[in-house]
A and B are shown apart, each in its own frame.
Chain A
Amino acid sequence: MKKKLLSIMLGSAMIASLLSGCATAVAPQAGNDAAAETGEAAEAEDNAGEAAAETAESSDEPVTLTIWHQSVVDTDPVKIIIEDSVEEYHELHPNVTIVQEGIEGEQYKTKIKTAFAAGEAPDISYMFSGGSFVKPYIDAGYLLPIDDLVQQETLDQVLPGMLSGCTFDGKLYSLPTITFLANLYCNTEMFDAAGAKIPTNWDELLDAVEKLKAAGYTPILMGEKDRWPGMYWYDIISARTAGNAAIEAAFGDTSKFNAPEFAAAAEKLQELVQAGAFNDNMMSMSYTEMLEGFAAGQGAMIYQANWIHPAIMDEAAASSGKVKCVAFPVIDGMAGSVTEFSGGTSDGYYINANCEHPKEAVEYLEYLSKKIGTVGYQMGAGLPCWKADGVDTSTLTSLDVESAALMETGTSYIGWWDNVLSAEDSETYKDLVAQVMAMKITPEEFAEAMSKLSPSEFY
């Protein structure tokens, strides 16, 4: 019995080495790998010393790469791109098989962390907007720097400045894909019905809130159960009161948060709460409910990033074709300008330091990142981090065009604060904003509590 097994194994190893190069998938994956290994061992013995020959051989050896991501919503273009890439990439590189798995947001965070700690992480994994989410993984040595593996030709196609978010301690770990920008989305139908004007400054915003409310609409939808939607509001209001430069300085030295302009931002947020701008049930509404609510026409405004486009431009959505995207209103007499934005960071995919085929993994990373950057842009997933000349933009919705135009006016960008601050401080910050919105703390108390955070590792 044992002899028989051995001869079968040897036989299949021979066949596999004969077929390698032209075969797509000869045997089931596991068997294939084993066969290749035996074949390789035999070869190494035969051509001892001929290292060059061996490397040439190894580029044809069957390789399986696993990728985990969190694009699971059917309207999400990234989900479609990753799923399609499996077959497409296999045609381009017959020896490479991609195994993809999508896991929903919150669960993904749990799963990826457990997998890395247990040494069972995939070859390639998605990391939320880089920043403080990915930092602990890099510090622990779980991820692979790709400087030596990535082709200069690929790097040349990335838009200027976009690599900085993928670089940690001077080493490149990922490639950018698409970037996101948060803006104010207004349902024009409701604005028209209420006789309100799309706001360009704070007074107009308050005026619009009043008119929309009088007309029976919920002026702004807020899903504060998840806490980060409220955080986005404080992020941008402080960009208007203090300006991005002051925020960056405060990230480096958090005592600077205890300043009138940061208290003023909290005060402005409370002004909106007191004007009844938000839905009454904001504390029990989740992000998903907020987005679905806006798409279903339950509110006139939402401040979110451009990843919401597919959902609100969906043909089935009540909001389809009625939404306009504008930069967040300026606050007259304050430091911030209309060209300062929240966002500008890119999601990225990172390679496991223990990946057995780093060369192939980086090749796939280059392919996938560029594909999401260009095709994803075309499909409305976000704005490109790659030179997109020659990409057909006729499929873009009006919102995609508007947000791309806003991006071009941008003079400075700051990523989502929960990606700039450490995981622990992000929790504190989100709690503080929620407390401001519930009128539990005063703007001064908020500013003082913010000054007690640790400085960000990125500024």
Chain B
Amino acid sequence: MEKILSDKKAIFLFVFPTLLVLTIFVAVPIIISGYYSLLDWDGLGKGTFIGIKNYTDLVKDERFINSLINSILYAALSLFIQLPFSLLLAILVSNVKRGEKFYSAAYFVPVIVSSVVIGYLWQKIYNGDYGLLNSALRSLGFEGRDWLGQENTALIAAFIPNLWQYVGYHMLIMHAGIKSISQDVIEAARIDGASPSMIATRITIPLLKPILEVCVTLSLIGALKIFDLIYVLTGGGPFYVTEVPTIFMYKHIFDAMHYGYGSAVSIFIILECLAFTFLLRIIFRRREEDR
């Protein structure tokens, strides 16, 4: 092993293919998008170079600002509702006496199902006429409403399926993390008289920190990039209240033929994700140093 690592040629040989693929499929498209974002271009004809005008327009665009706020709101919901809920489920599932595998598989099912299918499923749940939700509300004597069609409920109604879908994903990662904690520690705590809730808060969660950090990163970056489910559920409407930056970008590129402007949004999303990833790493590292 050492011999291989000291051989520069071997290192090159192993690293080069990945580097090449990454360059061609990640770095080059980003650079090209960066160039497009400086053009006033419809995506078909000739573009004119306009410098950073797309970006200055972008920060003044109310529709874009709103979509950005939506995605940050969704990121907050993921971090403060979805992840704690996943953690709770993971702890519960790892503590059930029977059917542990069944529960972890059951919660994972929505992750496997295609987002488009989930979107149609929830559309039926939310449907104003015959939807499950309204039927349930009506049978309880409440008034039904058009959840995805009304501005005050559309955003939260579009977010819930997203949150719901990935609960199982984070639960699975956390569950695996919990399982890798040594039984000895837990048993020792139990002998010392710790209750299950004490074991969870004093032992499982602190030992799970590295895993939680992974989940936080994945969840945050995922939240900034959501597209598919919201596109199926509302398409960004009504009146753009459920729009997120990715949908804003898609609509500009393919519906309004603003290829340059859309590219500027894509560059913005990339920079935003990078910035958040670095921010998280700094926060986590500082925590580690404090310890």
Contact = CB atoms under 8 A, between A and B. Distances in A.
Interface of A: 109-110, 113, 116-117, 136-137, 139-140, 142, 224-227, 279-285, 298, 423-424, 427, 431, 434-435, 438, 440
A425 B201 CA distance: 57
A398 B146 CA distance: 36
A440 B234 CA distance: 19
A117 B237 contact: no
Contacts of A284: 123, 126-128, 146-149, 154, 234, 238
A-B residue pairs, 3 tightest by C-beta: A281-B128, A284-B149, A283-B149
Contacts of A110: 254
Contacts of B235: 225-226
A117 B44 contact: yes
A224 B40 CA distance: 31
B173 interface: no
Contacts of B228: none
B257 interface: yes
A195 B72 CA distance: 53
Nearest to A427: B256
A283 B158 CA distance: 14
Interface size class of B (residues with CB under 8 A): 20 to 34
12 contacts: A140-B45, A225-B234, A227-B237, A280-B128, A280-B146, A281-B149, A284-B126, A284-B149, A284-B154, A423-B42, A427-B256, A434-B239
A330 B123 CA distance: 37
A113 B255 CA distance: 11
A136 B42 contact: yes
A434 B129 CA distance: 21
A424 B129 CA distance: 34
A110 B43 CA distance: 11
Contacts of A279: 128-129
Contacts of B234: 225, 284
Given A113-B43, A226-B235, A423-B256, 7 more contacts: A113-B254, A117-B43, A136-B44, A224-B238, A281-B129, A423-B42, A440-B239
Contact of A109 (B148, B254, B258): B254
Interface string B112-145: 0000000000010011110000000000000000
B23 interface: no
Given A113-B44, A284-B128, A424 B257 contact: yes
A140 B44 contact: yes
B265 to A, nearest CB: 15
Contacts of B48: none
B44 A139 contact: yes
